[in-house]
Every structure is written in structure tokens, then in C-alpha cells.
Structure 1
Amino acid sequence: MHEYPVLIATEFEDPTADLVIGELNKRKVPILRFDPGTDFPANAVLAASTNSGGWDGRLTVGGRSADLSQVRALYHRRPSSYLLRDDGQVARFVMQENRRGLGGVLGALPNCLYLSHPQAIARAEYKPAQLATANRVGFRVPATLITNDPAEAVAFSTTQPTVYKPLHAGSYEVDGEPAGIWASPVDPEEITESVKECAHLFQAQVSKTSDVRVVVVGSRFFCARITAPPGVVDWRSQYRNLSYEKVPCPVEIQQAILRFLSEFGLRFGAFDFSVTADEAWWFLECNPNGQWAWLEEAAQLPIAMAIAELLENGLTK
């Protein structure tokens, strides 16, 4: 492979990554796409050695190889988790060695731009950290309670309209089919002793007229207003019934977003806001590796081009 490749770590089927790869191909940027969790070690070979600058050596996947000392950027998109082959202690040991070995080298490449660094992404996925940071950088943040105490949950939801949200958007199935756990209104009488089973996030419901997703790539902002049917709390449950409008991002929101990203060490973020009738923007969450591909066409936002440009330039800008 030619010098200065871009590594793209993502799962086998990822149409979002495909958009970025298409843009990089137009720019004739060399690419090595792989899925660390499933390609290594069966389809990949790592040979990394320390030097005065950090690491050199090669990562070979299939018939393609990249010089680790020459990597210009790593796009940590959505790689699979490192596979646990069985329930035995040897398999657990192997899985952890792979994650810390290959994952550790990929996270310590010299002169490499990370979009974003895997450890920064992992830290930013914790909603309690997000909400604390959002308050600190100046966002409006709805009152929030995280608890496993049913009495506390009842007391909180009695004082204002309240929604329940999962703390982690993991995989979930209903009758064998993939499903989502959306933010949903909750009444005090619905709260049972089952709250004791795990941590729950309850949040004051914003009386919104629309939502906004802001996708940030480096220092570039791509902003779309999302309007759902009346009464819909979580627009993600109604993709077929949404309308989109490209809108500017207010300067004060941009400034708070950049402070937020800086605190977490991120170069990308997909921010969700609820907007009230008086155009107040309320922070809901930031997905440090959030989806954006459908907004390319729906709101005419050239996000793939911006990501490709950032990856192409590496640390030169």
C-alpha cells in the first residue's frame, strides 16, 4: 500500500463508512478497511515494534498491508467487539489480549489523526459524564435523575412531566426482531419495584416544537431541524414520518459544542437538541459515533465530504 494510508475500523456492513470511502477514493487516498473484532487474528496479522517515535511495523488484512508509522488517520467508525470464541478462561484471555494488543497499538499510532480516538469515544458514551459536561459548558439541560430507588423515581416524576431513557443504546429484540428502546413518557403510577433491578434515567420532558441534530466534523457544523408528528417524544421511533430542514447552528450553541468536544477529546459528535416554541435549545445527548448518513440527502448536508477531507489532511491542519 502507498504511503500515508487511512485506516477505517468498522463492521463488515456499514453503508455510512461506504460513503466516506467513496469520497476518499475520489481523492485517491489509500485505505485499509478492516474490523478489528472479527478480522483479528483469523484474517489479519500484526507485527508492531517500538521505536523513538512510538510504533512501527505493519498491519496486514487479507492481501493489503499498512505501515503503522505512516498512517495519516484512523476512522474509528463502528467496529465489532472483540470476539469471545467460547466461555472458557483461555478464550477470555485471548479476547482480552487481542483487544489490548491490536487495540492498544491502533490507539498509539505516531502522527495519526483519530476520528475520534477509541478511548475518547468510550469515555464520552457515558451519559452521566455527558450531562455533567453539558451543564458545565453552558447548555440548557433538562432536570435529570439516575436512580434505582422507586420512591425517588416517583417523587421526581410527580413534580413535572417525565420521560424514561436507557443509559445505553444496546441491541434489543422483540420476538426475535431488532427493536429500539425509545425515550418514553412515564407516569408516577407506572413506576414499580422493578426499578430496583438496575440504574434508570428519568428526565424532565421538554415541551418541544421540533428537534435538531447537529453533526460536527472537526470544526464544521451540519445542522438539521427534525419535525415529527404531534405528540411524538422520540423522533427515532418515527423515521418514516419525519421532515427535515437545513438550519444554521446558533453561535452560542457552536461555542458550547466545541467546549464539549474539547473536554472529551473528540473530533466528531452527533448532538441532539429539543427546541421549544421560543427557540430555546435543550441538550439531550451527544453520540460520539452517531449516525448521519440519511441526513446527506434528507437535509442536503455534505458530511461524508467533510469527514473525507479531515481524514485526508490528517494532522497537517
Structure 2
Amino acid sequence: MDYVVRELTEQCIPFIRLNTEDLPKAEVIFGIQSPDDWEININGHKFTGASIKAAYFRRPEVPQVTHGALTDSENEYIQNEWLSILKNLYWRLEGKWLNSPTHIFLAEDKPKQLVFANKLGFNIPETNITNMYALVSKMQEQKQVVAKPLKHALLSNDEVIFTSRIQAVRPSQSDSIQLAPVIFQEEVKKLYDIRVTVVGSSIFSVCIKTVCKVTGAVDWRSTEHANLVHEVIALPKELQEKCLSLVKCLGLKFGAIDFVCDTNKKYWFLEINPNGQWAWIENQTKLPIAKTIVEELISISKREHI
């Protein structure tokens, strides 16, 4: 978010940054005459629904409520009331978002992504989303298999679950496998990873190569950053069109799409993150992603006046 704020500041574009954890510090009025009938006054800044022409949603925090004189259950009640206001604010800004929170939530469904990507003609590794031991075991008879979570990749102790190569499963692991569905895919022998950042009709494509092959990591995110090299690349025109179509099909204007390129120079779709990180890409490559996001927001704001 800091990158977008910096770009807005450099272009002298007025903006409000609302850190959602601070919302309980605000005074609010939410009317019922129209979606724009609302006002928030926080930290000496007052803004209204009519004054907001475009909006960018990025990693909100839960409103923080800690009134020492109240019980935990009372604080929880108050927090949920602020969450309801926040949810309503998201709705009131529909049509003004770069990516609306609703569309982000729906697009985070990885099985849905794979169905859409398959329909658009992307190359997709053989995939089973299952908790059945027999199916996983059969899959492993002919190929190396990797596993990744459907949703939660972060445990409560801050441990990250990366996409991982799995050893041959055993009958004794049947009960463990049945605990929850997992995405099991054929491992693609890759030359490198590709991150494609789509903003509106703009595409920024970068290959991510691992310098040190000692670890043999499946997921580049588990590799030390010092061992990664980022290079700007040009995707085939047909693949670019498919990327644009996927983002549009999911109701988005922004998407961070992950591919791998195999040893035959074939591109394989892995997933799309509708609210993915991109600042490190800009740092590594100087690609103008923040500037393009701001340009897209300006375009949205102008459409509001039509």
C-alpha cells in the first residue's frame, strides 16, 4: 500500500488511507438514502461516500477494540459491530474498487480458478482435490506428486505451508489424509517460475530463477531471496490474452498469476492470487506496477462521472 500512496502523492492526487484496524477510533454516519450516503471522521480527516471516486483494497486488519473497562465478550460484540460497518462500507464502494472485496473472496477459491483456467485452455498439471488415500496412492504410481492447501497456508504459529513434493503415501497414513481435502498435482519439472501481474489491460511478466539448486525446492517462496534472480520476460501473445480473460472472468482488474515453465518451454498454470503481493517485483525489476494501479484507479474515478 505504501507504494500506491507514494505514487498518489507524487502525482498530487488527493486520497484517504483508511487502516481498517483503526476504524473504531472514527465517528461514522451511515445513511439509507443511497450507497453514497455515509460519512467517516477519523484522525481529523472527514470523507463522504460522494467524495470517493475509486478505491483500492489491500490486506485489511480486523478493527481493534480493547476497552479495558469492558468484558471480553462485550469487546467482541463491539468488534463485530464494527466489522458489520466495514462489510457495509465494502458494499457501498461497489463499482469504485480496483478489485472489490467480494470478488477477491470469490476468486480466492483455488478449485474454481482451476475450472476457469481449464475452460480458457491453460495447460494445467494433472490435479486431484481430495482426501482419499486410494486416489493419491494411485496418482503416485505413475508420477511425482506435490501437495498444497486449498486456502490456509499460514498456521497460527506463523508456520507457512508451502507447495511440497510428497513421498509415497502408506496405508497407515489413510486417516491423516482423510482429515481434510488437499490439492494434489503432478509435479512439473521446471526451468523456472513465472509471476504475471495483471493490472487492467497491462501485463507485467517476470521469470523467477533459482541460482542455488541444492535444496530442490518445489515452491520458490521457500528459497532464500539471495538465491533468486528476477528477469522481465515477454509471454506469448496467446498466453497474455488468456491471462487477461481469466482476470476478467473472475470479475477482477488485478491478478497475480503463477506459472511454471518446463524443460520443453511449455507454460503450466498453477493459480491466481486476486490480492497478491507485487511490491517486491517492482523493487527487483523497476516495472511500473504502482503507477499502473494508480492509472487504473484514475480511470475508474473518471467513469464514475459518466
TM above 0.5: yes
Correspondence 1:172-183 to 2 at 5 A: 172=155, 178-183=158-163
Deviations along 1:18-53, whole A, 9 cap, x unmatched?
1110000011112211222x2222x122212233x5
Is the CA contact (8 Å cut-off) linking 1:157 and 1:186 kept in structure 2?
A: no
Is the CA contact (8 Å cut-off) linking 1:150 and 1:196 kept in structure 2?
A: yes
Say which structure is richer in strand.
1
The answer to whether the aligner puts 1:128 opposite 2:114 as a matched pair is no
CA distance in structure 2 between the partners assigned to 1:158 and 1:60 by the alignment: 62
**1:248 counterpart (201, 213, 234):** 234
What SS does the corresponding residue of 1:308 show, helix, strand or coil?
Answer: helix
**1:308 counterpart (291, 294, 300):** 294
CA distance in structure 2 between the partners assigned to 1:256 and 1:84 by the alignment: 44
The answer to whether the aligner puts 1:276 opposite 2:262 as a matched pair is yes
Pairwise CA distance, 1:190: 5.8
Q: Cα distance 1:300–1:190, how it changes in 2: closer, same or farther (>3 A)?
A: farther
Root-mean-square deviation (CA, aligned residues, Å) is: 2.2
Q: Which residue of 2 aligns with 1:62?
A: 43
Pairwise CA distance, 1:99: 2.6
CA distance in structure 2 between the partners assigned to 1:187 and 1:84 by the alignment: 45
Q: Which residue of 2 aligns with 1:12?
A: none
Gaps of 5+ in 2: none
CA distance in structure 2 between the partners assigned to 1:219 and 1:190 by the alignment: 47
Pairwise CA distance, 1:276: 1.2
Pairwise CA distance, 1:316: 2.3
What code does the residue aligned with 1:233 have?
Answer: V
Gaps of 5+ in 1: 1-16
Correspondence 1:1-317 to 2 at 5 A: 17-36=1-20, 38-41=21-24, 43-51=25-33, 54-82=35-63, 88=73, 93-109=77-93, 112-172=95-155, 178-189=158-169, 192=173, 193-228=175-210, 229-230=212-213, 231-238=216-223, 239-316=225-302
Q: Identity percentage over the alignment?
A: 34
Is the CA contact (8 Å cut-off) linking 1:213 and 1:271 kept in structure 2?
A: yes
CA distance in structure 2 between the partners assigned to 1:158 and 1:312 by the alignment: 53
What SS does the corresponding residue of 1:74 show, helix, strand or coil?
Answer: coil
What is the aligned length? 293
What code does the residue aligned with 1:122 have?
Answer: F
Pairwise CA distance, 1:83: 5.4
What code does the residue aligned with 1:143 have?
Answer: E
Is the CA contact (8 Å cut-off) linking 2:96 and 2:301 kept in structure 1?
A: yes
CA distance in structure 1 between the partners assigned to 2:281 and 2:294 by the alignment: 16
Pairwise CA distance, 1:161: 1.0
Pairwise CA distance, 1:91: 5.2
Q: How high is the TM-score relative to the length of structure 2? A: 0.88
What code does the residue aligned with 1:57 have?
Answer: W
Q: Cα distance 1:84–1:134, how it changes in 2: closer, same or farther (>3 A)?
A: farther
What SS does the corresponding residue of 1:50 show, helix, strand or coil?
Answer: coil
Q: How high is the TM-score relative to the length of structure 1? A: 0.85
What code does the residue aligned with 1:235 have?
Answer: W
Deviations along 1:130-164, whole A, 9 cap, x unmatched?
11111111211111111122222212222311001
What SS does the corresponding residue of 1:202 show, helix, strand or coil?
Answer: strand
Runs of 4+ in 1 over 6 A off after TM superposition: 84-87
CA distance in structure 2 between the partners assigned to 1:101 and 1:282 by the alignment: 41
